[in-house]
Structure 1
Amino acid sequence: MRRMDCRGLLAAVAAACLLGIALSQTTLTPAVMSTTFVENVTGLTVTPVILSSTTPGCSAFNTSTCEPCAPGSQYDNNTLLCACCTEPGLCLFPGACLLCPTGFYQPLAGQQQCLPCNRGFYTNFTGSPLCHACLPGSFNNNTGQSSCTSCSPGFFASMQSSTSCSPCSVGRFCNSSGCTQCQTCPAGREALESAAKDCTPCRPGMHKPAHQTMCQICGSGFYQIRWGQEKCDICPENHYCPSPDVNPIQCPSDAFCPAGSLAPGYCMETFFRKAGDTCELAPVTIALLVIGGGVALLFVILMVLRRRRDTDGELSVARAPLLRKERPQGRYYGIPCDAEPVYAGW
């Protein structure tokens, strides 16, 4: 019976307390109070109602129970449950604090405001003590965001907490949203522009292996007349390929066309003629060679004879002084006489 009386007394005191708060609302705005809220505040120590002209109704609470707002929340200065505490950031119980909205966070306790998530980060629930980094393939370019945006096709983001997406380079593509990296175009296909969403096939006369990024023109003596090919074909024997994007052309009967020919090869007209797979000398060429050889041989013989004649002349001139060598004048019996005998009469 006594326990029932105590409960009734507490209810009366609480009603009186609420009455004092209600009467004081003319000087404190706004104040958020309701009967539902009072029903949840059963653990508070209620003191006698003593109205104050400065902070009406605050003396009805035991402010020694004030606690700092938990991480992920902030001080609520619009309610007596927080305003009655002596220091900002404290409330009568954690449930009186305001939860941080989406896009905002607060890692510390007892703070008066929440912080916006940085660019490249987000939080998608209230009361968050931290922000999450945007995953690869997404980005966030503003602060205080509750989500990240996926990269559009043709763009990618390979790192976490990206603030933008990068376009795929030439030769690479991305055909879906949220790409973490771009892919090289498959064999026989290429991407001619950056930020490509798809690849185009190589044109005739060109090819592209899987490890290359761009289509290449077929090499000399090769051809390709189909679209989107990985390799070129060599021009076949007895054909020639003047352009890599046309069909091989049949070789003329009087020409040579080995495999890989750009143009037919002909023997020299008049001097040579085709004989099977080779060129042979024409009759007129053989005659000219014989005549030319004879003239050359005759020229050599004449040169040798002239050289020999010139040599003989030089020897004759060299021997002449020896044949005409003079004797010195002598004296015979005191009479000078000629060196050579003089014959008289005969």
Structure 2
Amino acid sequence: MEHLGVLSVFAAACVLGVVMSQTTLSPAVTITTVSVNVTTPTMPGTTEPSCSVLNTSTCAACAPGTYYDNETRLCSCCPDVGLCVFPAACLPCTQGFYQPLAGQLGCLSCPSGFFSNVTRSPVCRACSPGSYNNNTASISCSACTPGTYCNSSSCAQCQICPAGSEALQVAAKQCTSCRPGMHKLSHQTICQICKSGFYQIHWGQENCDLCPENHYCPSPDVNPIQCPNDAFCPEGSTAPGYCMETFFRKAGETCELAPVTIALLVIGGGVGLLFIIVLVLRMKKDNDSELSLARTPLLRKDRPPGRFYGIPCDAEPVYAGW
């Protein structure tokens, strides 16, 4: 009877331990050893389950990775994947996290290029081509912006298109070659139109070519055109340059006066010289006239008309008897 009383007290202590441990989120363990086999496939970076063999032959707290089952009063591994013990309870993994194994102490965050937008997920989903994710524990992926692309799944970031190609659409999965008349360097995001005086007639080019001498390039996407014989076309010409028709003509690399221009210059020079002579003579004549008018008052003095004793003042005096 005494032994039975001791066993009763010991059992009561274990039950009390169960109750106490439940209040402290660390339930007590009773009964015997339990074996658990987990065959869930693992992802890179995961570990084997910690809950494989339970030793429950003594009155002790549940081991890490297990929880207290109120019905069986045993410590048990979490029954399903996508669950973890936190602490002493099986809770679902939140969005952005996953757990492929049972009986684990915590959930794992989705790596870059992956995401999880549901709870209790055993795996993370890879970002689809044309999208990326450069953060961990993400719940979604972002589309590649124009100028960048991703041609595979699980991209951590989108790439700039190689030289000579571009991606104009959002969420591009591949790049397209630059059109003729355009080019793109490796650090640029979109193709550029060739500068004036340059040309490019091929697809997917990194640089444009300078229009050669004795040719002109009216459009960057056509071959250089041969310069006419009577025109000038230095490097980088977009159109031929001509001398002024009728008055000038091409002579080597310069323009010279045409014969008709020389004749016109001679005639024009003669007319101009004649005009200057006439102008000088006219000015001399005008100066002489002004000088004559200035000297006239000195040659004849005008007197005002008047009378003196009935005789006009300007009349010559008459002296009688003299």
Q: Same fold (TM over 0.5)?
A: yes
What whole-Å deviation, never above 9, does each CA across 1:241-266 have from its counterpart, x for those lacking one?
22212211211212211111112222
Higher relative helix content:
1
Amino acid at match of 2:75: A
- Given the alignment of the two structures, is residue 77 of structure 1 paired with residue 70 of structure 2, yes or no? yes
Q: CA deviation at 1:156?
A: 0.9
Shift of 1:74: 3.4
Please list, as runs of the form range in 1=range in 2, the aligned pairs for 1:269-308 lying within 5 A after superposition: 269-308=245-284
Matched residue, 2:158: 182
Pair 1:105-2:84 in alignment: yes
The one-letter code of the counterpart of 1:253 is N
| CA distance in structure 2 between the partners assigned to 1:323 and 1:126 by the alignment | 143
Larger Rg: 1
Structure 1 residues 33-182: aligned runs within 5 Å:
43=57, 65=59, 67=61, 69-70=62-63, 72-79=65-72, 82=73, 96-99=75-78, 101-109=80-88, 113-182=89-158
For residues 77-118 of structure 1, give each alpha carbon's deviation from its aligned partner in whole angstroms, at most 9, with x where no partner exists: 332xx2xxxxxxxxxxxx523426322223224xxx422222
Q: Report SS of the residue matched to 1:115.
A: strand
Q: Secondary structure at the match of 2:69?
A: coil
Query: When the two structures are superposed, what TM-score results if normalisation uses the length of structure 1?
Result: 0.68
Give the structure 2 partner of residue 50 of structure 1.
none
Task: Read off the aligned partner of 1:302 and give its amino acid letter.
Answer: V
Q: How many residues align?
A: 273
Q: What are the superposed Cα offsets for residues 147-194 of structure 1, whole Å, 9 maximum, x if unpaired? A: 111111221111111111111111111122111111111111111212
C-alpha distance in structure 2 between counterparts of 1:239 and 1:70, whole Å: 87
Gaps of 5+ in 2: 8-30, 35-53
Partner of 2:212: 236
Q: Report SS of the residue matched to 1:96.
A: strand
Report if the CA contact (8 A) 1:100-1:128 is conserved. Answer: no
Compared CA separation, residues 304 and 100, structure 1 to 2 (3 A):
farther
Offset of 1:71 from its aligned partner? 5.1
1:208 corresponds to 2:201: no
Distance in 2 (alpha carbons) for counterparts of 1:117 and 1:194:
32
Once the 2 structures are TM-superposed, how far is the Cα of residue 322 of structure 1 from its aligned partner? Answer: 4.0
Question: What one-letter code is carried by the residue in structure 2 that aligns with 1:220?
Answer: S
> Percent identity of the aligned residues?
61
Aligned Cα root-mean-square deviation (Å): 3.4
Aligned to 1:320: 296
